[in-house]
Each structure stands twice: as structure tokens, then as C-alpha cells.
Amino acid sequence: MTASVSERIKAAERTMIRILDQGEVLELDYDGAVCQHPGSLWWGTAVGFRAMQMAALALSQEKLWSRDDLYIVSGHPGPGVRDTIEYVTGVVGRNRYQCIVAEGCNMQCNSKMKYEWWVSDGERTAFVQLRRDFVPVEFYALSDRLDRSETTKGDIKSFKIFKVNLSTRVWIAPLEESFSVEVFDEPLQPGELPAQVDEHYFDDVPSS
């Protein structure tokens, strides 16, 4: 759906994100993101969409943010997060998306993943973080066990319950209570990593 450009248009409200694409305003509803992963990647889809809502508000203080020059770095490797970011911004298909993954973790949920994103529009960079205590440490431990031989049916059931509960919580809680955001005047260039991503980036992993 498209609408005329207006600086009075709110970049995010309820389950909607608005973003410019070559001068046209796109209205993207959360249902559209969910339809890509029905019944599977609930949590990644929910947290990815809410994170992009936070970025949309942060980068739309003077005018509505635009897909045209966006570049995003993600600390979360989950496919639900990646596909939701693509649904909103189109950066993955344009090779303007980079994911930071700890050595040996591959592109899957793990205990070293970070719920944080750098969203750069060519002029500024919004650094979005999920509240550190939002996800229980038990969830991280389960995510590491799922691909091992000792994984039990109980582990799989618990992981699914965690995902449903987390997805519900991230929508019930006000956006500003779940996420923090800092806006820096310096943009990131495509392919560039933020200064925070150094050899110690994965040192502060959750612990039980």
C-alpha cells in the first residue's frame, strides 16, 4: 500500500511501520512479516519487527526514514530476524545487511547472539538494543542444546513455549520499555562494522 509523502506521517504505530521507497510511502503491517514464517519463527519475527519500529521512530525525527540508503548490521543471526528486516527495509536483497556471528555458531540462534542492531541511513546511525534482561538466560542455554544429540522432546517443547511467551511480551510491553536507542551523527558505510564490534564483542554473553 502506498500513500503520499507527508512529514506528519508517523514512522511506526501499533503494528505498522511506514518507510519511504523511491519517494513512495510504504505501509508495512506486522501480519505481512508473520506470513513469511507461519507457525515457526514467531520470536525472531516479532523482535525484529519491533526493533525496526524503534529504528523507524529514531531516524524519522525530521522526515520519514527511507529504504534508499539504509545499511544494517545485526548482532542476531536468526532467520526470522533477518527476513523481517528484509521485509521492512529491503537491505538483505541489496547486499546492505551484515550479521555478526561468533566463531563456530553459524547462522543460527545461540547463547552468544546479541539483540542489537545498527541501522544507518547514510547520514546517521541508530543503535537499537533489546533490554538486557528481557530474554531469560534459560532461553540462551536451550538454544545451544537444540542441535545436540542430547536434545530432548522436553527441550524442544520448552523452547517453543519460550518463543511464544517472548513474542507476546514484546508486543504487550511499550516499545520504549523493551528497547533502547542511541542515534549517532556518523553513518556506517556498507560493509563497515561499528566500533563496538571488536575482539571483545562476544565476551559479555548471558550466564545462568
Residue 160 falls inside a structural domain: yes
pLDDT for residue 38? 62
Domain assignment present for 196 = no
The per-residue pLDDT string of the chain (208 residues; one tens digit each, 9 = 90 and over) reads 444 444 458 999 999 999 999 999 999 999 999 987 766 678 999 999 999 999 999 999 999 999 999 999 999 999 999 999 999 999 999 999 999 999 888 877 888 999 999 999 999 999 999 999 999 999 998 888 886 767 888 888 998 899 999 999 999 999 999 999 999 999 999 999 999 999 999 988 665 4
Q: Residue 98 domain-assigned?
A: yes
Neighbours of 197 (CB within 10 A): 17
Q: What is the dihedral of CA 103, 108, 109, 110, to 10 degrees?
A: -30
Q: Is residue 45 part of a domain?
A: yes
Cell of 122: 547514510
Beta-carbon contacts of residue 27 (< 8 Å; ≥ 6 apart): 1, 2, 3, 16, 17, 18
Write phi, then psi, for 52 (nearest 5 degrees): -70, -30
Q: Would you say residue 195 lies in a domain?
A: no
Whether 102 is covered by a domain: the verdict is yes
The CATH number of the domain where 101 resides is what?
3.30.1330.130
CA-angle at 101, arms to 208 and 166, nearest 5°:
50
pTM of the predicted protein model? 0.92
**Number of domains within the chain:** 1
- Which residues, at least 6 apart from 42, have a Cβ–Cβ distance to it below 8 Å? 34, 80, 163, 164, 167
**Which position has the grid cell 530476524?**
81
User: 99: domain range?
Assistant: 2-184
Residue 10 belongs to some domain of the structure: yes
**152-177 b/e (C-beta count within 10 Å ≥ 16 → b):** eeebeeebeebbeebbeebbeeebee
Task: Spell out the alpha helix ranges (H) of 30-136.
Answer: 30-34, 42-58, 79-89
pLDDT given for residue 207 in this prediction: 56
Take residue 108 and report the three cell numbers written for it.
Answer: 543460527
Domain contains 119 = yes
